[in-house]
Amino acid sequence: MGIALPDRLHEVRVQKLKEMGANAWRCSHHMMATELLDACDRLGVLVLAENRHLDDSPEVLAQLESLVRRDRNHPSIVLWSISNEEKEQGSELGARQGRAMVTLIRRLDPTRPTTAAMNNGIGHGLTGVIDVQGFNYHPDTYDKLHQDLPKRPFLATEIAAAVGTRGTYAREKFQVPKDTATYEGNPALCQVSAYGVNAPDWAETAEVAWKAIAERPWMAGGFVWSGFDYRGEPTPFEWPAVSSQYGIMDTCGFPKDAYYYYQSWWSDQPVLHLFPHWNWPGCEGEEIPVWVYSNCDTVELFLNGNSLGAHAMKPNSHLEWNVKYAPGRLVAKGTRRGRTLQTTVDTTGQPAAIALEPDRTVLTAGGADISLVTVRIVDDQGRTVPVATNAVTFRVTGPGELIGVGNGDPCCHESDKGQKRSAFNGFCLAIIQSSRARGAIAIRAESPGLKSAAAAIEAR
C-alpha cells in the first residue's frame, strides 16, 4: 500500500502479534505513527519508544524532546530508549552524550526509566547512564554483566534476527559473502528454509535466543527482530531479493512456522503445529525432517495411521522426527495437562480453485476502513495447495477499491498496486478499502484453469 497506511492496519499488526503471545512492541528508531500507539493503548500492549541518534547537539535533543512531549501521555509506553547501536555507545563521549539525553527525558517525564539498545561496549559508556541495560544480541554477555551489576534491570532489546521463508523447506546448504554462517534453503530463488535453523553469524535462531532469556529470571524479556518482513535488508541475499526475511510473519502478515514456536512459549493457549507440508512428489522413500512446535507435554507422530513414536517436550524447545516420505497424512497427537490435541498435514491434490476469506465483511463507509482478504489456492477438497504459485486477477465493484496486493515472496517483483498477484506457497493477499458511499462491495478472483471465487463486503 505504500507508506500512507489506513489506521486499521496499525491495529491489525498489533493484534496479530498479541495473538501470537507478544505483550510488548519495541518501536524502530524513530517516532511512530500516533495511530500505532493508540492501538497499543487500546489493546494493552507495552511499548519501548526509541529515539534515533545518540548525541547532545541541539538538533538531536530537540528531536528527543519532540518524541517525549508528543508521546508521554500514551499509557502503553513503559520505557524510553535513547539510541540504537550507535558508534560511541561504549565510550566516555557516548556516556556524556547519553547523560544529556537522560537528563532531558527525566525533566520531561520523571515516571519512566531509560534504556539504550547496545550491541557493543556493553558494561561501559551508556551502561553507566541508563536505568535499564539493553542488549542487542550477544547473549554471551548476559551472565558476566549480571555478576558485575546484580541489581541492574536487564532487557534484551533485540534478539534472534533468525531468517526464514514462509512455506519453504529446501535444505541445500550454502554460504554468502561477508557472512560465515551456513544457511539452508534454495539460494537460486533467494529462499531460506523455514525450519528454525537459519540465522546470520551475528544473530541466533529463535530457540537459542529465547532460551537465553527464559532460563535467566533476572532478564526482563526479549524483543525479537522482527515481527514482520519488510522492504529492504534482504539478508542473507542481495538483489533480486527485495525484502527482509527476519519476520515471524511475512509482509502480508501470514505466519511463518516460527510464529508457533513463540506462541507455544509466550501464551497459555494450547499449541500443536506440525510442519513441513507433505507434498514431495519424486521423494518417495527419502527422509524428510518433520518438526513440531508445541507446548504439549508429549507428542506422538503418525504417518498413514502408523505410529512413528512419541517424544516428551522440553520447555522452550521443539520436537523432530526423520520420516521416510510416502504420500498421505501426517498426524500429530499431543497431550497437555490431560487434554488431547490433534493436527494433520495432508498430501493435497493439484490446484483446482480459489478461496477468498475477508477478515471483515462489514466496513465503515468513511473512505478509510479496510478488509484484508486472504486468497488460498485449494485442491478439489478445499485444502490449501502448499506449493501453488497460480497468478490471480482481482476485480472489485461497488463502493470500494483494491488498494494493495501481496504474497510474502521476498523475491517477487510484481506490482503491489496492480490488479493481479501470483500466489506464493499457496497464498496471496488483497486489501479492499471502502469509499464514502454505502452499499455492497464485491470482489472476484480468477485464475486460468481454476474455479473462480467471489466474496461480498458491506459498507455501512
Indicate which CATH number applies to the domain containing 62: 3.20.20.80
Helix (H, G, I), strand (E, B) or coil at 21: coil
Q: Same domain, yes or no, for 59 and 184?
A: yes
Question: Does residue 321 share a domain with residue 450?
Answer: no
Same domain, 173 and 33: yes
Residues 297 and 232 in one domain: no
Residue that is last in its domain, among 327, 346, 365: 346
Give pLDDT, residue 330: 98
What stretch of H or E contains 47?
strand 46-50
* Together in a domain, 94 and 207: yes
- Please indicate, yes or no, whether residues 118 and 258 belong to a single structural domain of this protein: yes
From the list 23, 5, 2, the residue with the least C-alpha distance to 14 is: 23
Last residue of a domain, one of 346, 380, 403: 346
List the grid coordinates of 293. 512446535
* 57 Cβ contact list (under 8 Å, min separation 6): none
Q: In terms of domains, do 340 and 360 share one?
A: no
**Cα 388 from Cα 279, distance rounded (Å):** 11
Query: For residue range 108-160, what is the model confidence (pLDDT) as tens digits?
Result: 999 999 999 999 999 999 999 999 999 999 999 999 999 999 999 999 999 99
* Domain assignment of residue 54, yes or no: yes
In-domain check, residue 285? yes
pLDDT for the residue numbered 381? 97
The pLDDT score that the predictor gives to residue 196 is 96
Q: What is the pLDDT of residue 415?
A: 96
- Whether 190 is in a domain gets the answer yes
Q: Is 64 a member of any domain?
A: yes
Whole-number pLDDT of residue 161: 97
Q: What is the mean pLDDT of each run of 10 residues along the chain (460 residues)?
A: 89 97 95 96 98 96 97 98 97 98 98 97 97 97 97 98 98 95 97 97 97 98 97 95 97 98 97 98 97 98 98 98 98 96 98 98 96 98 98 98 97 96 98 97 98 98
Q: Are residues 393 and 246 in the same domain?
A: no
Strand partners, 405: 430
The CATH number covering residue 366 comes to 2.60.40.10
Quick check: is 166 in a domain?
yes
Look up the domain containing 327 and give its range.
272-346
Residue 363 sits in the same domain as residue 262: no
Task: Give residue 1's pLDDT.
Answer: 84
Residues 330, 376 within the same domain: no
Give the count of domains, the chain: 3
Q: What does the pLDDT read at residue 3?
A: 82
Among the candidates 315, 346, 377, a domain finishes at 346
Q: Is the pTM of this model over 0.85?
A: yes
Q: Is residue 180 part of a domain?
A: yes
CA distance 189 to 420: 21
How far apart, in whole angstroms, are the C-alpha atoms of residue 271 and residue 134? 30
* Cell triple for 182: 551456513
Residue 2 lies in a domain: no
| Residues 92 and 195 occupy one common structural domain | yes
Q: Nine-digit cell at 268?
A: 497459555
Do 236 and 363 sit in the same domain of this protein?
no
**Quick check: is 63 in a domain?**
yes
Sheet of 298-303, strand order: 306-312, 298-303, 329-336, 339-346
By the 8 A CB rule, do 433 and 369 touch?
yes
User: 128 — phi, psi (to 5°)?
Assistant: -80, 0
The whole-number pLDDT of residue 412 equals 96
Coil, helix or strand at residue 400:
strand
* Residue numbers annotated as active site: 85, 158
